[in-house]
Structure 1
Amino acid sequence: MHRSGGRHRSGKVARLEELLEPVLAAGDRALLFTQYTEFAAMLRPHLSARFDTEVLYLHGGTSKKRRDEMVERFQSGEGPSLFLLSLRAGGTGLALTAANHVIHLDRWWNPAVEDQATDRAFRIGQRRAVQVRRFVCPGTVEERIEALVTAKRSLSDMVVTGGEDWLTSLSTSELRAVFALGSDAVADPDEDTGGGDE
């Protein structure tokens, strides 16, 4: 965000600026999620100065009254076009259908948390296509989180997306193996477990 010799120190912020230019030029609105409140506190004034616009910022310390005011302004179409939110504070309980762009500035290890945040733009009343982008810097912990999230989604898709079809495709012996108790799961009441008084 700081400039050194005319170049950005943060490639992520430079890429964000490139993405936001056409978004704002088209009159679109964007939700920007980050889990790092210190980063958000620096990013907000930077984006505000760079695009000469107000940037709303919702975080865990935002009062309910202030939160409701920001949501109303963003949703009205008259307020700021950029809404920066901490992932945890802005990830649930809000309907932000005025946005048609969602950008995750960093990755969170739990894909459900990111999905809940993304869903702020996919509430009842959304009439436009929503573009969702996730930033991942190569060679960083974000890249490892991305691999972990991908593996979790793959496992989830195998179990959940298939519904209960996997159960009907099992043979009788496979079904028995799934539902049978192991020999060590049931103790014989006649056996002495060594715990009684003699």
Structure 2
Amino acid sequence: MDRDALDAALDEAFATTAQGLSAWPDPRAGWEPGRAPPQEWYSRVLDPGRYRLLGARWAAWVTVLVDAGLAQPADGSAARWQDLLPVVVTGTDRLVPTAPGALPLVVVHTQIEDVSDAGLVVGVGDPAWTVACIPCCGCDACDDGSEPLLEQLDDTVWGVVSGAFRLVRDGDRRVMTVGASGDGRWSAEGPFAQGEPDRWLADPRGRTLVEGAAWDAL
């Protein structure tokens, strides 16, 4: 399945799974560059329920991937983790691809304030490595609107489904790519010298490597 066809199916499914929920704009749109949000924004979450839109997007992904025959849902309670973050877990989904050598996806639903199914933690593999925590914070000061959060979820899931995902770890340092294969985009955590992340991705020998086949590689 190519990205355009998948996106069309995803939008159709999302129209159903997101009923009653709404996207929201960046609350700082139009601010002058460099302007910091008020200090009180850092300790408040006025509308934690808005983040339930993320779970609706993930539900649309599950619908599309299962309907396409690319994966089957599995018992989330049996999911194993390498490095699950200290979050309040309120549910776990596990999606196992049908293609040999492809990586499973594990998604944990997390509580934000008093909303039990607001945030998501995305894991890849079995046992799963954490690759995204969406939103990373949730406070009003860190809110950039719903668009970048949905884009982060889509890029993460698509990277795994397309087979472009690659994670190279060594202790607390890691380099990860989730974009289209060959587009050169990566993110890194930990101290790195200039050019070192690219060298890790090109030659991961001696480090932990997590990668898998595309989900439609049948």
Give the alignment's TM-score, normalised by structure 2.
0.22
Structure showing the higher helix proportion among its residues:
1
Q: Which of these two proteins has the greater Rg computed from alpha carbons? A: 1
Structure showing the higher strand proportion among its residues:
2
